Amino acid sequence: MNDAFVIHGNGFRFDCTDRTYVMGILNVTPDSFSDGGVYFDLEAAVAHGLQMAEEGADIIDIGGESTRPGSKAVTQAEELQRVLPVIERLSRTLTIPVSIDTCKAEVARQAIGAGARIVNDVSGMTADPEMGSTVAKAEVPVILMHAKGTPEDMQRSPWYKDTISEIKTWLAERIQYAEAAGIRHSHILIDPGIGFGKRVSDNLLILKSVKALHPLACPVVIGPSRKAFIGRILDLPEQERLEGTAAAITLGIAHGAHLIRVHDVAPMVRIARMTDAIVRARQE
Domain CATH code at residue 124: 3.20.20.20
Tell which phi-psi region holds residue 37, choosing left (phi > 0), alpha (psi between -120 and 50) or beta: left
Sorting pLDDT into bands at 50, 70 and 90, what band is 130?
very high
Sorting pLDDT into bands at 50, 70 and 90, what band is 71?
low
CA–CA distance, 257 with 209 (Å, rounded to integer): 10
In a domain? residue 145: yes
Q: What is the mean pLDDT of residues 230-248?
A: 97
Percent share of the chain, pLDDT over 90: 85
A 10 A CB-CB count for 77 gives 10
In a domain? residue 269: yes
Domain span holding position 61: 18-279
In a domain? residue 1: no
Q: What is the dihedral of CA 123, 128, 134, 135, to 10 degrees?
A: 10
Give how far Cα 175 sits from Cα of 4, 128, 190, 197, Å: 13, 16, 8, 20
In a domain? residue 65: yes
In a domain? residue 105: yes
Report pLDDT for 233: 98
pLDDT digits (tens, 9 = 90+) for 8-23: 999 999 999 999 999 9
Q: How many domains does the chain have?
A: 1
Q: Which positions are catalytic?
A: 227, 261
Residue 239 has pLDDT above 50, yes or no: yes
Which residues contact residue 40 at a Cβ distance below 8 angstroms, ignoring those fewer than 6 apart?
A: 28, 29, 30, 82
In a domain? residue 257: yes
In a domain? residue 202: yes
Of 1-5, 95-99, 246-250, give the lowest mean pLDDT range.
1-5
Q: What is the mean pLDDT of residues 243-261?
A: 98
pLDDT digits (tens, 9 = 90+) for 136-186: 999 999 999 999 876 666 566 788 999 999 999 999 999 999 999 999 999
In a domain? residue 7: no
